[in-house]
Structure 1
Amino acid sequence: MARRPTIKDVAEAAGVSVSTVDRALNGRMTVREDTLRKIAEAAHRVGYHARGLFDHRLVEAVPERCFGFVLLKEKQEFYRNFRREIERAVAARTDIRGTADIRFAGSQSPEEFAEILRGMGRRCDAVAAIAVNHRALDQVVEELKGLDVPTFSLLNDFAQGIRRNYIGLNNMKVGRQAAWMITQTSHVPGKLAVFVGGNRWHGHDLREVGFRAYTRENAPAFTVLDTLVNLETRQLTYEATLDLLTRHPDLRGIYVAGGGMEGAIAALRETRAPGEVALVVNEVTAESRAALLDGYLRMIISTPLAELCDDVVALMVKAQSGDDGTIGQHFLDPRIILPEIA
């Protein structure tokens, strides 16, 4: 009959003392989480009969954390993908028992963002949000800071100097990349158009500034028209694009710095041949990928959602560990999607 494994066998397999295994088994004294994990793994390897108790102790040692996230436009593909990546990133952490509390803002109203964030601050250990720049948000983030609930801004850097970190793209560089692609691939100079969501999206403003700066410095033969505000809606972008194409026959390129790209794609499909007007947008969806393959899009500048979600969750965990962290910006490298790799 085979000998039944003992705690001595577990200790040898884990590389710790028998007394440490005994403490882990009986819970009489605290055992470090990494040591407890080694013991639990060793218990499974040697077939120790009480290995389930080590697993239970390990679960007890892992802190519970609730992380809140505020996103936009629940029905849009990009934000559905965003939600899925957040849930994956939280579930993948082995150092916490994490819960992702995800809410979608129904509008771009500062008051709605403030209400959602304030509510999350009462039940979450940290929050991260895509939100507009507004003093009402500054006030809420200050309140949450006073409650030891750190706030992280995603994609658009709101509450600067108050929030813990910004995680997203370098929006100034994104605008310059868009301008580079349009001016370098449009062989005849002409006019260029830029759409932004509105004056409360600081990230869009930075993209516009980058776009104009690159064009002014490196492609002065092109003229950038007055910026158009589309409120990130398909219909406004569609109507404004049709108007642009009618009033400016020499329109060579369009950059949609925020949402609403579907309207520009639809207008170009109706009125222009593929590639006649260089269009650059942000984020990969089924519609933008199809337009890229059909020649109506020149380039997509995409946020690496998996990396972003992994990083923001890691920063949230770090903030809960007692590390004050660095208040600053955490830039990610965008994915550049071209027709040949779409």
Structure 2
Amino acid sequence: MSRRPTLADVAREAGVSSATVDRVLNGRLPVRAGTTQRVIAAAERIGYHAAALMRERQHEGGVRRTLAFCLQKRSDPFYCALAEALQSACESRHPTPCIARISFQDALEPAAIADQLREAARAADAVAVVAVDHPHVNAAIAELQAQGKPVFTLLSDLSAPERAGYVGVDARHSGRTVAWLLSRLAAPGPFAVFLGSHRYLGQEAAEGAFRSWLREHAPQRVVLDTQVNLEDERLAYEALQSLLAREPGLAGLYVAGGGVPGIVRALREHPTHVVSACTELMPDRRAAMIDGVLDLVLVSPRERIATTAVARMLEAVQCAAEGRPWPVAQSFTQPFELHTPENL
């Protein structure tokens, strides 16, 4: 009885490694189109049992890809909801669903995020990340790009020139929209801005756009020094409590980053209303709007962001597999949603 051809036999016939044959069969990593064709032809010549499956997957574009998503705080309901949207977007891909590997990073130190990126890329074809802008993070992105692993940014862009693209809302539009609305809703008095960190380029851009619009269209408005809360609700609460004690006439507040539960708590305890805007319609923010504590919430469309990110990541992986260049640093912005107490 003749011996059944093995994966190693296919590798010898095609002149490639067994690992390359495994990648063609299982879609574990990008493989150039020419190499894929050579492997399939070799498998067919020697009668390898999975040759038909290889050919079928190639014709259907059915290589099952693995996409990694590096998100932040697991305890934050927004990131949990975003993770669900990303998982759903991967599972609903047609004709072949892709595999989503989602990790969370509670420590926001750049070195830890860089390590998270490298670890996630080990078993993935492409990676998407929410991160602060820092040389450690940018260096990791450059390394992965050199390995043929495209890296996309989510929600907040980075300055890494090697990043494959950004998927999220337009931060400049967000900041200018809030400035326009607060200037019309708030009584005379100063405005304040709260950020998680200036290293989130999206937050920094939103703050700059907010201030720029007011300088141009409402120069009489005073905008106080920006408060940074490191995405920590306790720090946000304490900072706003202190600010309200110093500025009892505060008229408007724009929270462009995290720490919103602490902000809401401080606003609830303040005797007079401050026209306030924040991001992401989580349960605590919805309750605060119903109670008249918050006035505006800008919402990132999680499902559209997830669907777009998955589609663009797969396109970039396919380009790498076929040896075609992918234009780096593209921007795939999505329109944000604006919620008030009257359209909940």
User: Is the pair's TM-score, using the shorter chain for normalization, greater than 0.5?
Assistant: yes
Number of equivalences: 286
Query: Aligned to 1:160, what secondary structure does the other structure show?
Result: coil
Match among 316, 332, 335 for residue 334 of structure 2: 332
Write the letter of the residue equivalent to 2:133: N
Q: How far off its partner does 1:99 sit?
A: 0.8
1: distance between equivalents of 2:238 and 2:220? 27
Query: Aligned to 2:122, what secondary structure does the other structure show?
Result: helix
2:287 equivalent in structure 1: 290
The percent identity for this pair of structures is 34
2: distance between equivalents of 1:120 and 1:74? 16
2: distance between equivalents of 1:267 and 1:120? 38
Write the letter of the residue equivalent to 1:303: S
Write the letter of the residue equivalent to 2:261: E
2:261 equivalent in structure 1: 262
The 8 Å contact of residues 138 and 159 in structure 2, kept in 1 or not, is answered as yes
Q: How far off its partner does 1:58 sit?
A: 5.5
2:38 equivalent in structure 1: none
Q: How far off its partner does 1:295 sit?
A: 1.0
Q: How far off its partner does 1:108 sit?
A: 0.8
2: distance between equivalents of 1:307 and 1:94? 17
The 8 Å contact of residues 141 and 159 in structure 1, kept in 2 or not, is answered as no
Q: 1:149 to 1:227 in 2, by over 3 A?
A: same
The 8 Å contact of residues 190 and 251 in structure 1, kept in 2 or not, is answered as yes
Residues 235-246 of structure 1 aligned to structure 2 (within 5 Å): 235-246=234-245
Match among 257, 275, 279 for residue 278 of structure 1: 275
Query: Aligned to 2:205, what secondary structure does the other structure show?
Result: helix
The 8 Å contact of residues 190 and 221 in structure 1, kept in 2 or not, is answered as no
Residues 18-167 of structure 1 aligned to structure 2 (within 5 Å): 62-167=62-167
Residue 319 (str. 1) matches residue 321 (str. 2): no
Unaligned runs of 5+ in 1: 1-53
2: distance between equivalents of 1:325 and 1:297? 43
1: distance between equivalents of 2:63 and 2:283? 39
1: distance between equivalents of 2:57 and 2:136? 40
Q: Give every structure 1 segment of 4 or more consecutive aligned residues whose post-TM-superposition deviation is greater than 6 Å.
A: 54-57
Query: Aligned to 1:152, what secondary structure does the other structure show?
Result: strand
1: distance between equivalents of 2:143 and 2:53? 39
Q: How far off its partner does 1:180 sit?
A: 1.4
1: distance between equivalents of 2:325 and 2:151? 13
Query: Aligned to 2:188, what secondary structure does the other structure show?
Result: coil
Write the letter of the residue equivalent to 1:293: I
1: distance between equivalents of 2:209 and 2:101? 34
1:6 equivalent in structure 2: none
RMSD: 1.8
Q: How far off its partner does 1:56 sit?
A: 11
The 8 Å contact of residues 63 and 97 in structure 1, kept in 2 or not, is answered as no
Q: How far off its partner does 1:289 sit?
A: 0.7
The 8 Å contact of residues 142 and 160 in structure 2, kept in 1 or not, is answered as no
1:179 equivalent in structure 2: 179
The 8 Å contact of residues 137 and 159 in structure 1, kept in 2 or not, is answered as no
Q: How far off its partner does 1:209 sit?
A: 0.2
Query: Aligned to 1:254, what secondary structure does the other structure show?
Result: strand
Residue 309 (str. 1) matches residue 306 (str. 2): yes
TM-score calculated relative to the size of structure 1 = 0.80
The 8 Å contact of residues 70 and 104 in structure 1, kept in 2 or not, is answered as yes
Q: How far off its partner does 1:118 sit?
A: 0.7
Q: 1:58 to 1:341 in 2, by over 3 A?
A: farther
2:296 equivalent in structure 1: 299
The 8 Å contact of residues 178 and 210 in structure 2, kept in 1 or not, is answered as yes
Query: Aligned to 2:90, what secondary structure does the other structure show?
Result: helix
TM-score calculated relative to the size of structure 2 = 0.80
The 8 Å contact of residues 70 and 120 in structure 2, kept in 1 or not, is answered as no
Residues 152-231 of structure 1 aligned to structure 2 (within 5 Å): 152-186=152-186, 188-231=187-230
Residue 234 (str. 1) matches residue 236 (str. 2): no
